[in-house]
Amino acid sequence: MKITIVGTGFVGVVSAAVYASFGHTVFGLDVDEKKVEMLKQAQVPFFEPGLSELLQEQQSKGTLFFTTNYQESISQCEIIVIAVGTPSSSQGKVDLKYVYNAIESMAPYLQENTIVVLKSTVPPGTADTVIASIKAKSSVNFHVASMPEFLKEGSAVTDTLHPDRVVIGTDDTSVFAKLSELHQPMQAPIVQTSIASAQMAKYAANAYLATRITFINEIADLCETNGADIQEVITAIGYDKRIGSHYWYPGVGYGGSCFPKDVKELVAYSQSVNYMDSLLARVNSINDTRVYRILEKLEKSMAGFQQKKIAVLGLAFKPNTDDMREAPSTKVVPYLLEKGAIIKGYDPKALETAKQVLPQHENLTYTSSIEEAIHDADLIIALIEWQEIISYPFANQVATLPIHFFDARNQFNKNALQNAGYIYKGVGR
């Protein structure tokens, strides 16, 4: 098959490389010339394990191309996948301008019976306006389908090659057959739904996971008021098969490019259909303020942050990525600076991003190792569970005591750290 993926962001690049690896001819199309030039050299503008290698392999096989030329790519493809960004606008409502720009730019070059697949996360109802926009610029027969993306950053290549399921939103049998065939090599269950159901499934999956995390965070906070240990509670309830203990570590709140945005969008969507008293509105507001409540407690426990030397370990929003969108560090670092702390930041991959994203301040410096960051620290914050951070032998490295240790992801052995003299603080334990 010949496929164009419009948008070479995270989802677009990974999808393009994976479809090419199945033997299809794939064009990755973007308006950003600089990005396209980089991708042609298999240089990925972000860190994602295994992606650069896959790009290189597929480009050298001659099945994967990157271009800025709509006419060249669209006019020879039978499937067009729209994978442009859908950022939140004010009030959390999704901003679809990139989707409509892409649709208007490609519509004049569509061939007869092309399938236009919406992979960008868009609210139900968007397909109707997309169809109208295409019809305004093209007189060919075409189909619109929805195929939401469920990959996680940091494991995007594996998630795309081996998804838990593929959701294909279409009522048309021939479209379903074609898109099923495209995904056969993944050997995953294929779920056929209507377009609206596919789009709701994407929002529902993210909103459920965000709610699950917010729920366990709240139970963790309650544990702190009565001496219970959240990790023991999770183990105890996890044996219930209806609950399970997977994907359920408490922390400072969820972040990243999807959960905060998609929850806000679903809240805005609920309000647009007059459903004002939404559970998700609470999930959103609890998560937005969670990290500040935790920092306030920490601040009290060490008599303020003024002039305290603090090592912040883990600046990305999660391990195995350099993405800092809605990363806890983007709230933690400005808060600590505001309170007069002297910060050394460390991350295995996100240091360059951090220099762009975090405020420039005389009290904020970056180090190239954990050792340097924690040297002389009054407080160590292990913010993100990078393997390098959680396997670091903190308990063997104590020089001057007492040092406060905030284990923001409950990754460390509390007793071992306490025995080594740290003043340990986890989440809900």
Report the catalytic residues: 258
Told to check if 149 binds ligand UDX by CB under 6 A, we report yes
Residue closer to ligand UDX (CB basis): 30 or 323: 323
Residue closer to ligand UDX (CB basis): 124 or 154: 154
The correct pick among 54, 74, 130, 258 for binding ligand UDX (CB under 6 A) is 258
Amino acid at site 428: G
Work out how close the CB of 236 gets to ligand UDX at its nearest, in angstroms, rounded to a whole number. Answer: 17
Residue closer to ligand UDX (CB basis): 4 or 410: 410
Told to check if 386 binds ligand UDX by CB under 6 A, we report no
Residue closer to ligand UDX (CB basis): 248 or 422: 248
> Rounded to the nearest 5 degrees, what angle is found at the Cα of 294, between the Cα atoms of 289 and 295?
95
Told to check if 319 binds ligand UDX by CB under 6 A, we report no
Residue 198: CB atoms within 10 Å: 22
Work out how close the CB of 151 gets to ligand UDX at its nearest, in angstroms, rounded to a whole number. Answer: 5
Work out how close the CB of 169 gets to ligand UDX at its nearest, in angstroms, rounded to a whole number. Answer: 16
The correct pick among 17, 64, 118, 213 for binding ligand UDX (CB under 6 A) is 213
Residues paired with 116 in a beta bridge: 80, 144
In the stretch 232-251, what mask flags binding to ligand UDX with x, by CB under 6 A? ---------------xxx-x
- Indicate the angle between helix axes 10-21 and 51-61, nearest 10 degrees: 50
Distance CA 48, CA 120 (A): 19
Residue closer to ligand UDX (CB basis): 48 or 378: 48
Distance CA 202, CA 381 (A): 33
In the stretch 180-209, what mask flags binding to ligand UDX with x, by CB under 6 A? --------------------------x--x
Work out how close the CB of 79 gets to ligand UDX at its nearest, in angstroms, rounded to a whole number. Answer: 21
**Where do we find the tokens 């279409």?**
170
The correct pick among 9, 92, 256, 428 for binding ligand UDX (CB under 6 A) is 256
The correct pick among 27, 66, 259, 366 for binding ligand UDX (CB under 6 A) is 259
Told to check if 378 binds ligand UDX by CB under 6 A, we report no
Residue closer to ligand UDX (CB basis): 98 or 249: 249
Told to check if 294 binds ligand UDX by CB under 6 A, we report no
**Where do we find the tokens 């096989």?**
61
Residues in contact with ligand UDX by the rule CB under 6 A: 149-153, 206, 209, 213, 247-249, 251, 254-259, 317-318
